A and B are shown apart, each in its own frame.
Chain A
Amino acid sequence: MRYLPLTSADRASMLETIGAGSVDELYSDVPDGALLSEPVDLPYHLGELQVERDMAKLAAKNMGTASVPSFLGAGAYRHHVPATVDYIIQRGEFLTAYTPYQPEIAQGTLQYLFEFQTQVASITGMDVANASMWDGATSCAEAVLMACRATRRKKAVLSGGLHPHYREVTETYCQYSDTEVAGRDGHPEKQATADELDDLIDDQTACVVVQYPDVFGRIQDHTKLADACHAKGALLIVVFTEAMAFGAVKSPGSFGADIVCGEGQSIGNNLNYGGPYVGLFATTSKLVRQMPGRLCGETVDQDGKRGFVLTLSTREQHIRREKATSNICTNSGLCSLAFTVHMSLLGEDGYRGVATLNHETACKTADAIDAVPGAELVNDSFFNEFTVKLAKPAAEVVEALVGKGVLGGVPLSRLYPNRDDLDHYMLVAATETNTDEDIADLASALKEVLA
């Protein structure tokens, strides 16, 4: 076994030093009958070549988004990841390091986390950000729990424009903590107004959660909602699924959000069939001690040189145990490194440039689809994703598009299995990876399918 360096001679001499007769003897605390004497019923070890072949066989059974025109979004987006990103994150000193518990020999990890926190705070327009969460949906759930802690209130109001998976995860997290989750059903053709949720906000409301751009792709100004929340002592939580959007639209911080959280997969990270992703989480200076997760802070060392450490750990589970702000231990370190490297490559011009490119590609895609008989663009506003109403059930259309070699969009019935009224709607996302040929392929395939 190539990963195991001990030889039989090593094992014999080590057992002798220990004073044990066999490895089994080291397991003498295991209750009688529970120690297996033979390997379990699974295949024996394979060489590198065979494992690679096995995995390639599984990969070949899938239709990859890189191999066909693909317009899938709904919370995960295919973007171009520069080669440099993957090169950096595969450096062993990053890839094989642990949580930076010994800051003297983990300054590489700590400095990029500090840079990551600064980048996330900048794009969201907030004061501070943490050193990453697991994904956008768990970030949203933790934001709601944090708002309840900060306000000492027990009601969370969720907008109908929130991604249904984010809603489900939030409900899961709140179900055993006496937090009431209220809200409205969303619909892509019922324009949610700024005061959609006004009448649900009362003096028991801890927070209102809105998505920006929302799950149907719409972009709305939430200034009035922020004011309404603050007038009642509630916090405004702004959730996003597309971190690229803030290169083109005003930041949530600019309209008074108290917590901004969402998914960072778009920047530096592959689609990976849903994970691992990287949850982003930002807030105001006032609320920083209520934040879940890890924080990296600047300090000096013994010689007076600037350095970085994990800080404010008195919020965390390893100090506060059952009174901690959350049970989170592991973060998404390597995914946040990918984010940081990609964001560093983009810079101000690149970030805003790629956002513009996304928007323009989406505009072209929307127009091309809108021109297809039986397909109608629903959105007045959007960034790189929008809703289309189809003359046929969207799930059937998407399946038929697969037959034509196109991954066309996400049917809303996939996100809302219990909502018959949404069966004819499809979410379509376009990014800088989509070419004019892709758009033409989608439009012509759609035309045939809807004819």
Chain B
Amino acid sequence: MSFTTHTGNRGLVLEEKLIFEMGEPGRTGVDLPKPAGIKSRLGGLDRDSDVGLPGLSEPQVVRHFTRLSQKNFGIDSGFFPLGSCTMKHNPRLNEKVARMPGLADLHPMQPESTVQGALELIDSCAHWLLVLTGMPAVAMSPAAGAQGELCGMMAIRAALDARGENRRRVLVPESAHGTNPATAAACGFTVDSIPATEDGRVDLAAFEAKLGDDVAGIMLTNPNTCGLFERDVRKIADLVHAAGGYFYCDGANFNAIVGRVRPADLGIDAMHINLHKTFSTPHGGGGPGSGPVVFSEALAPFAPIPYVVRKGETFHLVETADEKDGNKPFGRLKGFHGQMGMFIRALAYMKSHGADGLRQASGDAVLNANYLLARLKDKLSVAFPGYCMHEALFDDDFLKDTGVSTLDLAKAIIDEGFHPMTMYFPLVVHGALLIEPTETETKESIDQFCDAVLALVAKAESGGAEFFKNAPYLTPRRRLDETAAARKPVLRWMPETA
């Protein structure tokens, strides 16, 4: 059935132009006082041409962005089991407190005496992270997980330099996030890949064989990107330490173990924590994130500036590389002191959960993932045997001979009203489907998802390939031509030239 409306709208799914195609000169969405006509002192560089912005009224802007929002799926819209991304409930309390006067309106360069509450808040957030990880030091400033990695690896490089050692090889398992090798390269390291075993973990023998006096360290994700706990993590830590290297842990999956396992007890030297995953600061369509890094005694002195120190009842922000207290910071990573807005949300979340709730949350996340695994394992092909942590990994074996790919299945899941799982990651298994329900889902929602997936698999098995190739059918846009987008990139709107 094909039916086209005059407007291009589809019932209440409304088409929406770009703002550049709907504005009128002379219209604006703000009311400003008239200029006083003061002679400008712009050094003779007064703007003498139009910027090229459209004029819209306030109601036009509200309607435009409301309509755009309706073409988006978020965790508030429904089940969003995107593995490795941890899409859990975002409490609105966190948003409310982050907007409090006295927090949202603080300037980063205010005198220290006027921001004691803010520094105390950073210190409290740091305290929670330190107790939960068992580590002695933390750098709060990294802007996101990837910058946290950079922070950790730079501390390792600085520690090696301080030891006068020219170790340049970093071991990175095959299943690592793409940010891990890119980060190691940014610190001047070369990347040496470690293969995975049959059961989805680091091949300990291969790892041991790669150790040597040129190894700076290992970057390991634990729980790893296959959704599994690295059983040999302590042996890995001991071996890399014995070889004179450091142990960087990618803490993207800390939410599986928070309150139950302390990274310090595993022999980790540095680990970033994605506040937006583990402590539920909202993902905002791709950011902002926040990636504080916890450090062992060995790496703590190299943590970057700035950092907060407590002196009795007052808090002090150290903004310069001051070696008097034994610290040798490797530099500064960010314009100011870090993602304060995220610290506020994360602290509100941690206080709301408490030590008891965080422990329950990680347990429920793991329980939900294993329940989903149990519900699907007879029909879908499980990538690795045994219990999973907070996410369940399948390969595409179960789709063999159906003519349906992982991508096709994902697109059909969209029509069922769910955000699809992570596809084709990790790369270590073929056609991966990585599913993470998180702890804030009910048993009912997981059941509903599993029932829908099982029905789709049955459809695929009974020769429905053609149907899958054309899914999704019901979305504001259907499959988009990504190849054309990359071949002739159109990255901005341009006025029509006659």
Q: In chain A, what residue has the closest Cβ to B54?
A: A347
Residues A42 and B261 in contact, CB atoms below 8 Å apart: no
| In the complex, chain A residues 83-125 whose Cβ is within 8 Å of any chain B Cβ | 84, 86-109, 111-112, 114-115, 117-119, 121-123
Instruction: State A92–B359 Cα separation when bound (angstroms).
Output: 27
Residues A58 and B288 in contact, CB atoms below 8 Å apart: no
Instruction: State A221–B43 Cα separation when bound (angstroms).
Output: 8
Chain B residues lying within 8 Å of A86, measured Cβ to Cβ, are: 99
Partner of A39 from the list B336, B356, B370 (CB cut-off 8 Å) is: B356
Given A48-B93, A82-B30, A95 and B486 contact (CB-CB distance below 8 Å): no
Residues A407 and B110 in contact, CB atoms below 8 Å apart: yes
Q: Does B410 lie at the interface of the complex (its beta carbon under 8 Å from any beta carbon of A)?
A: yes
Interface segment among B45-53, B202-210, B456-464: the answer is B45-53
Closest CB in chain A relative to B47 CB, distance in Å: 6
Chain A residues lying within 8 Å of B340, measured Cβ to Cβ, are: 272-276
Closest CB in chain A relative to B407 CB, distance in Å: 10
Chain A residues lying within 8 Å of B89, measured Cβ to Cβ, are: 3
Q: Does B497 lie at the interface of the complex (its beta carbon under 8 Å from any beta carbon of A)?
A: no
Q: Does B159 lie at the interface of the complex (its beta carbon under 8 Å from any beta carbon of A)?
A: no
Instruction: State A317–B260 Cα separation when bound (angstroms).
Output: 32
Instruction: State A341–B355 Cα separation when bound (angstroms).
Output: 39
Instruction: State A265–B450 Cα separation when bound (angstroms).
Output: 43
Chain A residues lying within 8 Å of B422, measured Cβ to Cβ, are: 101
Given A88-B65, A248-B47, A298-B490, A52 and B480 contact (CB-CB distance below 8 Å): no
Q: Does B492 lie at the interface of the complex (its beta carbon under 8 Å from any beta carbon of A)?
A: yes
Number of interface residues of A (CB under 8 A): 211
Instruction: State A217–B364 Cα separation when bound (angstroms).
Output: 54
Mask for A41-56, Cβ within 8 A of B = 1, else 0? 1111110101110111
Q: Does B375 lie at the interface of the complex (its beta carbon under 8 Å from any beta carbon of A)?
A: yes
Residues B186 and A326 in contact, CB atoms below 8 Å apart: yes
Closest CB in chain A relative to B328 CB, distance in Å: 13
Instruction: State A135–B82 Cα separation when bound (angstroms).
Output: 27
Instruction: State A299–B489 Cα separation when bound (angstroms).
Output: 9
Residues B477 and A301 in contact, CB atoms below 8 Å apart: yes
Most chain A beta carbons < 10 A, residue from B58, B356, B420: B356
Residues A329 and B69 in contact, CB atoms below 8 Å apart: no
Residues B179 and A329 in contact, CB atoms below 8 Å apart: yes
Q: Does A216 lie at the interface of the complex (its beta carbon under 8 Å from any beta carbon of B)?
A: no
Tell me the total A-B contact number using a CB cutoff of 8 A.
719
Q: In chain A, what residue has the closest Cβ to B89?
A: A3
Partner of B443 from the list A10, A74, A346 (CB cut-off 8 Å) is: A10
Instruction: State A151–B341 Cα separation when bound (angstroms).
Output: 38
Chain A residues lying within 8 Å of B99, measured Cβ to Cβ, are: 86, 270
Given A104-B411, A123-B51, A176-B187, A56 and B68 contact (CB-CB distance below 8 Å): no
Chain A residues lying within 8 Å of B65, measured Cβ to Cβ, are: 88, 91, 112, 337, 341, 344
Interface segment among B71-79, B239-247, B292-300, B398-406: the answer is B71-79
Residues A270 and B472 in contact, CB atoms below 8 Å apart: no
Q: Does A339 lie at the interface of the complex (its beta carbon under 8 Å from any beta carbon of B)?
A: no
Residues A99 and B354 in contact, CB atoms below 8 Å apart: no
Most chain A beta carbons < 10 A, residue from B441, B476, B491: B491
Q: Does A360 lie at the interface of the complex (its beta carbon under 8 Å from any beta carbon of B)?
A: yes
| In the complex, chain B residues 32-85 whose Cβ is within 8 Å of any chain A Cβ | 32-33, 35-36, 38-56, 58, 61-62, 64-66, 68-77, 80, 82, 85
Residues B352 and A3 in contact, CB atoms below 8 Å apart: yes
Partner of A319 from the list B23, B178, B353 (CB cut-off 8 Å) is: B178
Chain B residues lying within 8 Å of A301, measured Cβ to Cβ, are: 477-481
Q: Does A11 lie at the interface of the complex (its beta carbon under 8 Å from any beta carbon of B)?
A: yes
Q: Does A193 lie at the interface of the complex (its beta carbon under 8 Å from any beta carbon of B)?
A: no
Residues B335 and A136 in contact, CB atoms below 8 Å apart: yes
Q: Does A230 lie at the interface of the complex (its beta carbon under 8 Å from any beta carbon of B)?
A: no
Instruction: State A330–B283 Cα separation when bound (angstroms).
Output: 9
Most chain B beta carbons < 10 A, residue from A51, A89, A112, A410: A51
Residues B103 and A249 in contact, CB atoms below 8 Å apart: no
Given A76-B107, A175-B331, A317-B146, A432 and B32 contact (CB-CB distance below 8 Å): yes
| In the complex, chain B residues 202-251 whose Cβ is within 8 Å of any chain A Cβ | 228-231, 233-234
Residues A176 and B285 in contact, CB atoms below 8 Å apart: no
Interface residues on B, range: 35 or more
Q: Does B301 lie at the interface of the complex (its beta carbon under 8 Å from any beta carbon of A)?
A: no
Chain B residues lying within 8 Å of A138, measured Cβ to Cβ, are: 143, 147, 333-335
Chain B residues lying within 8 Å of A54, measured Cβ to Cβ, are: 351
Mask for A387-430, Cβ within 8 A of B = 1, else 0? 00000000000110010000100100010011000000000000
Mask for B418-451, Cβ within 8 A of A = 1, else 0? 0110100100000000000001111100000000
Q: Does A134 lie at the interface of the complex (its beta carbon under 8 Å from any beta carbon of B)?
A: yes
Closest CB in chain B relative to A65 CB, distance in Å: 5
Chain A residues lying within 8 Å of B23, measured Cβ to Cβ, are: 347
Q: In chain A, what residue has the closest Cβ to B143?
A: A134
Chain B residues lying within 8 Å of A322, measured Cβ to Cβ, are: 181-182, 184-185, 190-191
Instruction: State A363–B104 Cα separation when bound (angstroms).
Output: 27
Chain A residues lying within 8 Å of B124, measured Cβ to Cβ, are: 58
Q: Does B374 lie at the interface of the complex (its beta carbon under 8 Å from any beta carbon of A)?
A: yes
Residues A274 and B260 in contact, CB atoms below 8 Å apart: no
Q: In chain B, what residue has the closest Cβ to A289?
A: B489
Chain B residues lying within 8 Å of A65, measured Cβ to Cβ, are: 105-107, 110
Given A76-B336, A90-B95, A347 and B27 contact (CB-CB distance below 8 Å): yes
Chain A residues lying within 8 Å of B319, measured Cβ to Cβ, are: 414, 417
Partner of B90 from the list A96, A117, A356 (CB cut-off 8 Å) is: A96
Mask for B335-377, Cβ within 8 A of A = 1, else 0? 1111111101001101111111111110110111011011100
Partner of B229 from the list A29, A175, A316 (CB cut-off 8 Å) is: A29
| In the complex, chain B residues 148-169 whose Cβ is within 8 Å of any chain A Cβ | 149-150, 154, 157
Partner of A93 from the list B69, B191, B475 (CB cut-off 8 Å) is: B69
Residues B121 and A58 in contact, CB atoms below 8 Å apart: yes
Instruction: State A418–B322 Cα separation when bound (angstroms).
Output: 11
Partner of A326 from the list B182, B261, B353, B355 (CB cut-off 8 Å) is: B182
Chain B residues lying within 8 Å of A19, measured Cβ to Cβ, are: 374
Q: In chain A, what residue has the closest Cβ to B188?
A: A176
Instruction: State A155–B402 Cα separation when bound (angstroms).
Output: 56
Chain B residues lying within 8 Å of A220, measured Cβ to Cβ, are: 43, 45
Partner of A249 from the list B35, B47, B107, B357 (CB cut-off 8 Å) is: B47
Chain B residues lying within 8 Å of A35, measured Cβ to Cβ, are: 260-261
Most chain B beta carbons < 10 A, residue from A3, A74, A115: A3
Chain B residues lying within 8 Å of A67, measured Cβ to Cβ, are: 101-102, 105
Q: In chain A, what residue has the closest Cβ to B369?
A: A26
Residues A28 and B387 in contact, CB atoms below 8 Å apart: yes
Closest CB in chain A relative to B114 CB, distance in Å: 4
Chain B residues lying within 8 Å of A376, measured Cβ to Cβ, are: none
Residues B107 and A354 in contact, CB atoms below 8 Å apart: no
Residues B374 and A18 in contact, CB atoms below 8 Å apart: yes
Residues A309 and B485 in contact, CB atoms below 8 Å apart: yes
Given A84-B61, A380-B43, A273 and B28 contact (CB-CB distance below 8 Å): no
Q: In chain A, what residue has the closest Cβ to B59?
A: A84
Q: Does B332 lie at the interface of the complex (its beta carbon under 8 Å from any beta carbon of A)?
A: yes
Partner of B330 from the list A108, A172, A349 (CB cut-off 8 Å) is: A172
Q: Does B173 lie at the interface of the complex (its beta carbon under 8 Å from any beta carbon of A)?
A: no
Partner of B117 from the list A60, A272, A432 (CB cut-off 8 Å) is: A60
Q: In chain A, what residue has the closest Cβ to B290?
A: A276
Given A62-B117, A70-B107, A103-B480, A345 and B334 contact (CB-CB distance below 8 Å): no
Q: Does A153 lie at the interface of the complex (its beta carbon under 8 Å from any beta carbon of B)?
A: no
Given A88-B65, A93-B77, A137 and B335 contact (CB-CB distance below 8 Å): yes
19 examples of A-B residue contacts, CB within 8 angstroms: A46-B354, A84-B29, A98-B74, A105-B472, A108-B72, A111-B18, A134-B287, A136-B335, A165-B332, A165-B335, A248-B40, A270-B105, A275-B335, A308-B480, A329-B144, A330-B276, A332-B288, A333-B286, A381-B43
Known: A55-B347, A114-B492, A322-B184. 13 other contacts (CB 8 A): A46-B352, A48-B352, A94-B284, A102-B410, A165-B336, A218-B43, A247-B47, A297-B489, A317-B182, A333-B287, A351-B53, A357-B32, A381-B44
Which 7 A/B pairs are nearest by Cβ-Cβ distance? A274-B336, A334-B284, A61-B117, A92-B76, A381-B43, A172-B331, A59-B102
